[in-house]
């Protein structure tokens, strides 16, 4: 009996030694990522032959600035991975060394050969954005060309019913002796749709000043509030009616999305504005606002570039400016040749984009080349 | 002078940041992030003006006894109450201030959000009335999409989920991308107009 016991103990002791040893990944290659600020190294390797064995977990990525010492783990990738992007390099231009360590469930590890050195460099021009640069120059050139033509003569722009209705809506409020509510949305000043909304507010303020119609502008952002107040004030001043501007007509409410919606719904129900404008950036509160306004019987004009909110505005408002129409509003309402010229330039560029999309689709279908895909990709 | 200086600042910074977009190097990124952080300074001053306007608005309403002045009273009372609560109990988790926030303000926000469901029902009723050819097409498409998303749809006809998916991924996506192109150009054109000083409405008109 003791002999059998000893034999079992010996087997248990020798069993791990008999199991196949964990093998390391091989052929670790390092590349300095192009078009970056020098913080990215791209790693590629051949997977460990032990990957298919049970208990294999993945790889630890280790980095050091010395070839034989001070390696520290910087990332872990699961089995199956054959590449990793280290985007935490801080010392640009200094040598870095890497190791890939295979790990299994027993805690065994197998270390690859040290790869490197590699020293990253920072790029001073992102060649992946060459197509964007070309597009930007083309767009600027076309827009400036149309502005030049607009200065020379009148350019035709298609009718936008939502903008034609602005004057009608202001007139209606004047006749009814009720105020106009203008909402800039919940966007911050760095949102271009908010800037476009403020541009329209300037035009609306001029018209309300001419007709002596009360204008209420509750805002959801402190900076937007400051700009909106100046724009309304200047609008009244520009038509020679600074005396009609009331300081408390433009006021801040809250930055809280649903708090803003609740406050506006309350204003609509209590003050019953004849016209509601919803221009700018909107999220889930769009339907609360538009439906509350529709329930009070107000004429409603909305405009946003948030595609997910457009169906709600289209359903609940009388007129909706869809996407680009919001940006065209300022030019359309002011009829300034310079602004109208830029609008025509925008249309011409849209035509060019349609042509590029058609050509690109055809080229991709016929040639199936990576070059075609890269021409239309932005990195 | 009042308009030329802001326009010059906008032009210089606008052009600088167009160039910055194409430069990935570290100094370029640092410059960009620093400028973004400067926003905070503007926000501090703008917040003072904003809160001042809010308090003034409500005080004026109360003093004039305008319609709904009682709500203004509630608002100012609640604002003062919350400020005092924050000062005396602190804003840590478990404080009186946080209890009011969690058990009064948060449920009110959730209530407003929940009301959306009712508004959505009334809006859907209006949108899906088959008054014209377009509205009828919308109604049929919506019916197919909704039916395709529930198990009963597949039980009626196995091809319904695929048809629903096709409607969302092909005609719907095509329309969305068309709008997105327009928005992209609109954003670029508006930015360009502001940088070049063509659009001056943001300074209060021409």
Query: Which pLDDT band holds residue A372 (cuts at 50, 70, 90)?
Result: confident
pLDDT of residue A79: 85
For residue A343, the chain B residue with the least C-alpha distance is B189
User: Which among B29, B183, B194 has CB closest to A324?
Assistant: B183
Asked if B54 is an interface residue toward chain A (Cβ–Cβ < 8 A), one would say yes
From the list A151, A141, A197, the residue with the least C-alpha distance to B192 is A141
pLDDT of residue A33: 87
Contacts of B50 in chain A (CB under 8 A): 219, 221-222, 225-226, 252
Look at residue B179 and tell me whether its pLDDT is greater than 80.
Answer: yes
For residue A268, the chain B residue with the least C-alpha distance is B68
* DSSP states of A14-64: HHHHHSPPP---EEEEEEEPSSSSS--EEEEEEPPGGGGSTTEEEEEEEEE
pLDDT above 70 coverage of chain B, percent: 96
Asked if A215 is an interface residue toward chain B (Cβ–Cβ < 8 A), one would say no
* Per-residue buried b or exposed e for A114-132, using 16+ beta carbons within 10 Å of the residue's own CB: bbbebebebbeebebbebe
pLDDT of residue A123: 86
Asked if A346 is an interface residue toward chain B (Cβ–Cβ < 8 A), one would say yes
Of A4 and A263, more confident: A263
The DSSP symbol for B130 reads: -
The DSSP symbol for A87 reads: -
A36: closest CA of chain B, how far (Å): 5
Look at residue A15 and tell me whether its pLDDT is greater than 70.
Answer: no
B150: closest CA of chain A, how far (Å): 22
Task: Determine whether the interchain pair A126/B24 forms a contact, defined as Cβ–Cβ distance below 8 Å.
Answer: yes
Those of residues 20-39 in B touching chain A at CB distance below 8 A are 21-26, 28-29, 39
Q: What is the mean pLDDT of residues A265-276?
A: 92
How does the average pLDDT of chain A come out, rounded? 86
- Tell me the two tokens of residue A173: 């409020």
At A42-61, the pLDDT tens digits run 999 998 888 888 888 889 89
Question: From the CB of residue A197, how many other CB atoms can be counted at a distance below 10 Å?
Answer: 27
Q: Is the complex ipTM more than 0.95?
A: no
Phi, psi of A217 (to 5 degrees): -125, 90
pLDDT above 70 coverage of chain A, percent: 94
Rounded to whole angstroms, how far apart are CA atoms B16 and B155? 59
Rounded to whole angstroms, how far apart are CA atoms B63 and A291? 31
- Enumerate residues 6+ apart whose C-beta is below 8 A from A289: A183, A261, A264, A265, A268, A276, A278, A282
Strand (E) positions, chain A?
26-32, 41-46, 56-64, 72-78, 83-86, 96-104, 109-111, 115-118, 180-185, 215-219, 250-252, 275-281, 299-304, 319-322
Contacts of B112 in chain A (CB under 8 A): 258-259, 261-262, 288
For residue A233, the chain B residue with the least C-alpha distance is B204
Asked if B2 is an interface residue toward chain A (Cβ–Cβ < 8 A), one would say no
Rounded to whole angstroms, how far apart are CA atoms A209 and B33? 41
Look at residue A300 and tell me whether its pLDDT is greater than 90.
Answer: yes
For residue A294, the chain B residue with the least C-alpha distance is B123
pLDDT of residue A209: 92
At B72-112, the pLDDT tens digits run 999 999 999 999 999 999 888 889 999 999 999 999 999 99
For residue A333, the chain B residue with the least C-alpha distance is B201
Query: Which pLDDT band holds residue A251 (cuts at 50, 70, 90)?
Result: very high
pLDDT above 90 coverage of chain A, percent: 30
Rounded to whole angstroms, how far apart are CA atoms A281 and B13? 24
B55: closest CA of chain A, how far (Å): 9
pLDDT of residue A220: 94
Task: Determine whether the interchain pair A342/B29 forms a contact, defined as Cβ–Cβ distance below 8 Å.
Answer: no
User: Which among A307, A316, A326 has CB closest to B186?
Assistant: A326
At A143-186, the pLDDT tens digits run 888 888 877 776 777 788 888 888 889 999 999 999 999 999 99
Task: Determine whether the interchain pair A288/B116 forms a contact, defined as Cβ–Cβ distance below 8 Å.
Answer: yes
Q: What is the mean pLDDT of residues B155-169?
A: 92
Query: Which pLDDT band holds residue A14 (cuts at 50, 70, 90)?
Result: low
User: Which among B43, B122, B198 has CB closest to A339?
Assistant: B198
Q: Tally A–B CB contacts below 8 A.
A: 203
Question: From the CB of residue B154, how many other CB atoms can be counted at a distance below 10 Å?
Answer: 16
How does the average pLDDT of chain B come out, rounded? 88
Query: Which pLDDT band holds residue A2 (cuts at 50, 70, 90)?
Result: low
Rounded to whole angstroms, how far apart are CA atoms B189 and B183? 10
Query: Which pLDDT band holds residue A3 (cuts at 50, 70, 90)?
Result: low
The label of the residue with tokens 């006894």 reads B65
User: What predicted TM-score, i.e. pTM, was given to this entire model?
Assistant: 0.81
Rounded to whole angstroms, how far apart are CA atoms A98 and A40? 13
Contacts of A230 in chain B (CB under 8 A): 203-204
Rounded to whole angstroms, how far apart are CA atoms A333 and A339? 10
Contacts of B68 in chain A (CB under 8 A): 266, 270-271
User: HSE on the CB side for A351, CA within 13 Å?
Assistant: 7
Contacts of B67 in chain A (CB under 8 A): 270-271
CB A223 within 8 A of CB A189: yes
pLDDT of residue B77: 94
Those of residues 65-124 in B touching chain A at CB distance below 8 A are 67-68, 71, 108-109, 112-113, 115-116, 119-120, 122-124
């Amino acid at each position: 009996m003791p002999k059998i016991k000893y034999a079992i103990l010996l087997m248990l002791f020798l069993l791990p030694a008999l199991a196949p040893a964990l093998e390391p990944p091989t052929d670790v290659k390092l590349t300095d990522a192009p078009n970056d600020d020098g913080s990215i190294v791209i790693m590629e390797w051949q997977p460990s032959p032990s990957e298919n064995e049970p208990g294999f977990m993945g790889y630890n990525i280790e980095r050091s600035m010395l070839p034989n010492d001070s390696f520290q783990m910087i990332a872990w990738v699961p089995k199956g991975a054959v590449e990793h992007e280290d985007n935490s390099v801080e010392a640009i231009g200094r040598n870095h060394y890497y190791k890939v360590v295979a790990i299994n469930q027993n805690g065994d590890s197998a270390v690859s050969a040290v790869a490197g050195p590699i020293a990253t460099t920072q790029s001073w021009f992102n060649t992946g954005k060459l197509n964007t640069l070309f597009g930007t120059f083309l767009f600027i050139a076309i827009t400036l060309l149309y502005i030049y033509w607009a200065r020379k003569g009148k350019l035709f722009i298609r009718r936008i019913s939502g903008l034609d209705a602005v004057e009608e809506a202001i007139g209606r409020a004047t006749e009814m002796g009720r105020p106009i509510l203008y909402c800039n949305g919940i966007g911050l000043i760095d949102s271009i749709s908010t800037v476009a909304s403020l541009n329209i507010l300037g035009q609306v303020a001029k018209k309300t000043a001419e007709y002596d119609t009360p204008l209420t502008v509750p805002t959801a952002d402190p900076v937007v509030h400051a700009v909106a107040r100046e724009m309304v004030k200047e609008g009244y001043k520009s038509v020679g009616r600074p005396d009609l501007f009331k300081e408390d007509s433009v006021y801040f409410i809250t930055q809280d999305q649903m708090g803003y919606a609740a406050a506006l719904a309350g204003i609509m129900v209590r003050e019953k504005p004849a016209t509601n404008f919803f221009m700018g950036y909107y999220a889930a509160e769009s339907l609360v606002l538009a439906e509350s306004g529709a329930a009070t019987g107000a004429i409603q004009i909305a405009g946003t570039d948030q595609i997910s909110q457009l169906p709600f505005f289209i359903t609940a408002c009388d007129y909706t400016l869809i996407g680009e129409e919001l940006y065209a509003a300022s030019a359309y309402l002011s009829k300034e040749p310079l602004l109208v010229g830029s609008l025509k330039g925008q249309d011409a560029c849209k035509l060019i984009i349609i042509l590029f999309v058609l050509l690109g689709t055809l080229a991709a279908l016929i040639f199936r080349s990576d070059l075609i895909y890269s021409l239309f990709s932005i990195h | 002078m009042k308009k030329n200086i802001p326009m010059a600042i906008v032009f210089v910074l606008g052009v600088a940041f167009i160039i910055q977009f194409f430069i990935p190097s570290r100094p370029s990124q640092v410059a960009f992030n620093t400028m973004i952080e400067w926003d905070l300074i503007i926000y501090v001053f703008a917040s003072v003006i904003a809160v001042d306007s809010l308090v003034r608005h409500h005080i004026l309403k109360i003093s004039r006894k305008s319609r709904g002045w009682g709500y203004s009273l509630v608002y100012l009372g609640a604002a003062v109450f919350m400020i005092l609560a924050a000062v005396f109990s602190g804003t840590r988790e478990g404080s009186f201030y946080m209890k009011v926030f969690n058990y009064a303000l948060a449920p009110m926000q959730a209530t407003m959000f929940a009301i959306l469901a009712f508004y959505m029902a009334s809006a859907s009723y209006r949108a899906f009335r088959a008054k014209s050819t377009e509205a009828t097409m919308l109604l049929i498409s919506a019916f197919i999409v909704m039916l395709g998303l529930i198990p009963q749809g597949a039980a009626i006809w196995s091809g319904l989920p695929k048809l629903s998916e096709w409607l969302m991924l092909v005609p719907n996506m095509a329309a969305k991308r068309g709008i997105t192109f327009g928005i992209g150009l609109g954003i670029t054109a508006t930015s360009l107009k502001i940088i070049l000083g063509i659009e001056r409405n943001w300074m209060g008109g021409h």
